């Protein structure tokens, strides 16, 4: 699909333009890039069917950008982009992946030190050559070195949300083969882990060589590591590997159990089987030489004396003990969410109007949506001030009057300032249906101060939800320092709800904290933080994270119908 290629170029153009002093153009490009990345249709098809006009109908794409897309579809390149690259011949996307390294800084480093890529940057920072340059101090230099180390640490792993759409496509093409009798993902993908080393797929087939021929010739395969009748392994263009195994029908359940892992979970299940005088491996459960189970996972778990365990829980965190007592928690299901409370509209520069966001939410079967645009402290995000919020309130009331059986709620995502105060006046916050507050600045505070800052916000009775409570960006930025127990205690006292943000690089709260919140009796909400209507579907990753954190339906407020949901909000 060309969408990803063009989107990547647009993102890069935005970065290049940010090195210059042009106010709005970079923003237009990144908005268009986001739009291309998230729409379902292939732009080539859109263009083939409706030409330039149809391209212009894609949200965020105007005349000028439509022409650039056309140019790429016709000639495989965009001259404007090539010219920008010639002017500044550096690996801008690589360099700006380092937390704290923006495009402007990258340009300065190229001009002063000829830094062209990550390697040059690391060398220069370690040689202490950055300090003293405009905008660089000893601290920035240290942050850059840390940022580079961070990038290296997770090398070779991919964000779940980054590759899941590809995995789904691969599975559905394989499913269409008549030679495929059964198919499932296994490994970390099936456990919905936040990052993935490689993708594992299991198949039952009477004609494995046909399946393997098809598998290694899938669209997007750039390398075939191995090809056999029971196992093949390929690399996809995005850089990740896929392992396909064909297993006998009678062992499908035990193979699935084995290859789903985790390894730690498997070690414990195998030991449990041994304690009962049984043998468990990828071929089945055996009593002596007699196979007593293997066809389905349910019968495998049953044979070793435990309840079937949802894959997201298989991390050897105590789930096996509970399964043995048949007292696993009844974790939230993928269809339990009734509405998304953290979405952005075009009022703060999101890609879609409030109405479009609401229509999409409704088409997903939701009962409500919360519009929670950024507020004024965040100038780069076009944050709304008090007046705009009140105007938006009117628009939402008007839209609601035309709707029945669905409700748009007005919230906002206000900023928790350094001193714990909120950047919007209380009398306006009071008028909204609910208020989200989050930390969007000064991430490097001391633990105690950061904890106090957030707790102070929680004590403001207008604040209902804390967004992405730990601030981490997977593979990019560590969480900020907080005393999570204190945060939980304050949340419990004040009735503040903690968010599970579904954005693939956030997944914040993460599984470990979700379990602690649940144990402390603190309520949570699963939100997407969508800036585009097509991102509403990211909810799947928030739900999987909640499942990994053993959250039940009753722990998550947006599983409740509207009337009950509203009771969670204080004002
Ligand atoms: P990843 O790929 O790093 O994200 O993580 P996984 O869990 O997908 O690991 P992977 O692909 O190496 O192996 C898939 C599953 O196969 C793993 O979750 C459990 C099982 N497995 C692999 N190697 C071993 C092993 O040495 N012992 C046991 N008990 N299980 C294994
Ligand atoms: Ca794997
Ligand atoms: Ca594997």
Encode pLDDT of 138-152 as tens digits: 888 988 888 888 777
* pTM of this structure: 0.82
Sorting pLDDT into bands at 50, 70 and 90, what band is 322? very high
Distance between Cα 186 and ligand 2 center (Å) = 7
Candidates 68, 80, 6; CA nearest to 36 is 6
Check pLDDT > 80 for residue 11.
Answer: yes
Are residues 304 and 318 located together in one domain of the fold? yes
Are residues 311 and 370 located together in one domain of the fold? no
Are residues 230 and 265 located together in one domain of the fold? no
3-state DSSP assignment of residue 173:
helix
Q: Which of 97, 128, 153 is the last residue of a domain?
A: 153
The pLDDT tens digits of the residues spanning 514-561 come to 999 999 999 999 999 999 999 999 999 999 999 999 999 999 999 999
3-state DSSP assignment of residue 411:
strand
Asked if residue 366 belongs to a domain, the reply is: yes
pLDDT of residue 410: 98
Are residues 545 and 442 located together in one domain of the fold? yes
Asked if residue 67 belongs to a domain, the reply is: yes
Give the mean model confidence (pLDDT) for residues 12-36: 84
Phi-psi region of 179 (alpha: psi -120 to 50; beta: other; left: phi over 0): alpha
**275 burial via Cβ count (<10 Å: 0-12, 13-18, 19+):** exposed
User: Among all ligands shown, which has an atom nearest to the Cα of 259?
Assistant: 1
Q: What's the CA gap between 217 and 294, in Å, rounded?
A: 31
Sorting pLDDT into bands at 50, 70 and 90, what band is 154? low
Distance separating the N- and C-terminal Cα atoms of the chain: 47
Nearest protein CA to atom 17 of ligand 1, as residue: 261
Nearest protein CA to atom 15 of ligand 1, as residue: 259
Sorting pLDDT into bands at 50, 70 and 90, what band is 369? very high
Distance between Cα 37 and ligand 2 center (Å) = 25
Distance between Cα 231 and ligand 2 center (Å) = 14
Check pLDDT > 90 for residue 248.
Answer: yes
The answer to whether the beta carbons of residues 465 and 556 sit under 8 Å apart is no
Q: Which atom of ligand 1 is nearest to 270's Cα?
A: 29
Q: What's the CA gap between 349 and 148, in Å, rounded?
A: 30
Check pLDDT > 80 for residue 233.
Answer: yes
Are residues 496 and 370 located together in one domain of the fold? yes
Nearest protein CA to atom 27 of ligand 1, as residue: 263
Are residues 479 and 365 located together in one domain of the fold? yes
pLDDT of residue 190: 98
Are residues 239 and 376 located together in one domain of the fold? no
Q: What's the CA gap between 195 and 162, in Å, rounded?
A: 9
3-state DSSP assignment of residue 507:
coil
Asked if residue 39 belongs to a domain, the reply is: yes
Q: Which of 138, 153, 168 is the last residue of a domain?
A: 153
Distance between Cα 474 and ligand 3 center (Å) = 22
CATH code: domain of residue 517:
3.20.20.140
Check pLDDT > 90 for residue 282.
Answer: yes
For strands 195-196 and 199-205, give the pairing.
Answer: unpaired
Sorting pLDDT into bands at 50, 70 and 90, what band is 315? very high
Distance between Cα 264 and ligand 2 center (Å) = 14
Nearest protein CA to atom 16 of ligand 1, as residue: 259
Range of the domain at 241: 158-246
Are residues 310 and 436 located together in one domain of the fold? no
Are residues 373 and 293 located together in one domain of the fold? no
Residues with CB under 6 A from ligand 1: 187-188, 193, 196-198, 200, 258-259, 261-263, 266-267
pLDDT of residue 464: 98
Nearest protein CA to atom 1 of ligand 1, as residue: 197
CATH code: domain of residue 268:
3.30.210.10
Distance between Cα 153 and ligand 3 center (Å) = 20
Nearest protein CA to atom 5 of ligand 1, as residue: 188
- Tally of CA atoms within 13 A in the half-sphere of 529 that contains its CB: 21
Nearest protein CA to atom 9 of ligand 1, as residue: 187
- Tally of CA atoms within 13 A in the half-sphere of 432 that contains its CB: 33
pLDDT of residue 23: 66
Distance between Cα 213 and ligand 3 center (Å) = 19
3-state DSSP assignment of residue 433:
coil
Contacting residues for 470 by C-beta, under 8 A, at least 6 apart:
479, 480, 482, 484, 508, 509, 510, 513
Check pLDDT > 80 for residue 100.
Answer: no
Nearest protein CA to atom 20 of ligand 1, as residue: 259
Distance between Cα 123 and ligand 2 center (Å) = 34
How many folded domains does the chain comprise? 4
* Crossing angle of helices 208-216 and 160-175, rounded to 10°: 130
Candidates 551, 526, 523; CA nearest to 540 is 526
Distance between Cα 466 and ligand 2 center (Å) = 33
Ligand 1 test: best mutation among 155, 197, 263, 268, most atoms within 8 Å of CB? 263
Average pLDDT, rounded, for the chain: 94
DSSP class of 142: H
SS (H, E, C) 391-404: HHHHHHHHHHHCCC
pLDDT of residue 113: 95
Distance between Cα 262 and ligand 1 center (Å) = 6
Are residues 375 and 348 located together in one domain of the fold? yes
Asked if residue 331 belongs to a domain, the reply is: no
Sorting pLDDT into bands at 50, 70 and 90, what band is 97? confident
Give Cα 404 to chain centroid, integer Å. 31
Q: To which H or E segment does residue 412 belong?
A: strand 407-415
Q: What's the CA gap between 414 and 383, in Å, rounded?
A: 9
The pLDDT tens digits of the residues spanning 458-479 come to 999 999 999 999 999 998 889 9
Neighbouring-strand partners of residue 500: 526
Are residues 221 and 174 located together in one domain of the fold? yes
Q: Which atom of ligand 1 is nearest to 196's Cα?
A: 4
Q: Which atom of ligand 1 is nearest to 261's Cα?
A: 18
Sorting pLDDT into bands at 50, 70 and 90, what band is 26? confident
CATH code: domain of residue 19:
1.10.150.110
Are residues 402 and 268 located together in one domain of the fold? no
Nearest protein CA to atom 28 of ligand 1, as residue: 263
Asked if residue 330 belongs to a domain, the reply is: no
Q: Which atom of ligand 1 is nearest to 193's Cα?
A: 4
Asked if residue 332 belongs to a domain, the reply is: no
Q: What's the CA gap between 531 and 159, in Å, rounded?
A: 19
Nearest protein CA to atom 31 of ligand 1, as residue: 263
Check pLDDT > 70 for residue 200.
Answer: yes
Q: Which of 217, 246, 275 is the last residue of a domain?
A: 246
Ligand 1 test: best mutation among 187, 201, 265, 282, most atoms within 8 Å of CB? 187
3-state DSSP assignment of residue 437:
strand
SS (H, E, C) 268-329: HHHHHHHHCCCEEECCEEEECCEEEECCCHHHHHHHCCCCCCCHHHCCCCCHHHHHHCCCCC
The pLDDT tens digits of the residues spanning 437-456 come to 999 999 989 999 999 999 99
């Amino acid at each position: 699909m060309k969408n990803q290629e063009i989107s990547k170029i647009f993102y890069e153009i935005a970065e290049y333009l940010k090195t210059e002093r042009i106010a709005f153009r970079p923003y237009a490009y990144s908005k268009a890039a986001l739009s291309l990345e998230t729409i379902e249709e292939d732009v080539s098809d859109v263009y083939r069917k409706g030409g330039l006009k149809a391209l212009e109908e894609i949200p965020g794409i105007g005349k000028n950008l439509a022409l650039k897309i056309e140019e790429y579809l016709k000639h495989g390149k965009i001259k404007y982009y090539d010219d920008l690259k010639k002017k500044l011949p550096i690996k801008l996307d690589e360099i700006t992946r380092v937390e704290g390294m923006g495009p402007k800084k990258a340009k300065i480093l190229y001009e002063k030190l000829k830094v062209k890529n990550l390697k040059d940057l690391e060398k220069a920072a370690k040689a202490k050559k950055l300090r003293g340059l405009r905008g660089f101090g000893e601290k920035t230099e240290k942050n850059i070195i840390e940022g580079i180390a961070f990038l290296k640490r997770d090398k070779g792993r991919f964000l779940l949300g980054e590759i899941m759409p590809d995995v789904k496509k691969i599975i559905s093409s394989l499913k269409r083969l008549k030679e495929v009798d059964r198919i499932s993902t296994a490994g970390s993908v099936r456990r919905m882990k936040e990052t993935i080393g490689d993708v594992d797929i299991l198949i039952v087939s009477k004609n494995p060589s046909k399946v393997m021929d098809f598998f290694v010739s899938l669209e997007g395969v750039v390398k075939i590591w191995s090809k056999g009748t029971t196992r093949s392994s390929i690399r996809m263009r995005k850089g990740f590997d896929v392992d396909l195994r064909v297993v006998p029908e009678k062992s499908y359940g035990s193979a699935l159990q084995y290859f789903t892992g985790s390894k730690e979970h498997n070690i414990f299940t195998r030991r449990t089987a041994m304690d009962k005088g049984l043998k468990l491996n990828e071929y089945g459960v055996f009593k002596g030489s007699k196979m007593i189970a293997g066809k389905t996972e349910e019968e495998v778990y049953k044979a070793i004396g435990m309840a079937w365990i949802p894959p997201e829980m298989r991390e050897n965190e105590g789930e096996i003990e509970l399964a043995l007592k048949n007292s696993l928690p009844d974790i939230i299901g993928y269809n339990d969410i009734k509405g998304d409370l953290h979405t952005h509209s075009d009022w703060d520069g999101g890609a879609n109007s409030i109405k479009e966001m609401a229509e999409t939410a409704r088409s997903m079967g939701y009962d409500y949506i919360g519009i929670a645009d950024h507020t004024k402290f965040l100038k780069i995000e076009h944050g709304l001030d008090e007046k705009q919020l009140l105007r938006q309130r009117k628009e939402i009331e008007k839209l609601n009057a035309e709707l029945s059986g669905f409700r748009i709620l007005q919230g906002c995502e206000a900023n928790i300032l350094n001193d714990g105060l909120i950047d919007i006046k209380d009398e306006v916050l009071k008028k909204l249906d609910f208020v989200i507050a989050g930390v969007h600045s000064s991430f490097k505070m001391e633990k105690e101060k950061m904890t106090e800052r957030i707790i102070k916000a929680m004590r403001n009775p207008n604040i209902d939800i804390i967004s992405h409570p730990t601030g981490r960006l997977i593979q990019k930025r560590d969480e900020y320092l907080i005393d999570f127990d204190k945060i939980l205690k304050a949340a419990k006292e004040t009735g503040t709800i903690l968010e599970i943000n579904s954005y693939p690089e956030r997944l914040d709260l993460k599984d470990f904290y979700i379990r602690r919140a649940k144990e402390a009796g603190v309520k949570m909400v699963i939100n997407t933080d969508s800036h585009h209507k097509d991102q509403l579907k990211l909810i799947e990753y928030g739900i999987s994270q909640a499942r990994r954190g053993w959250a039940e339906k009753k722990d998550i407020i947006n599983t409740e119908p509207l009337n009950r949901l509203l009771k969670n909000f204080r004002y």
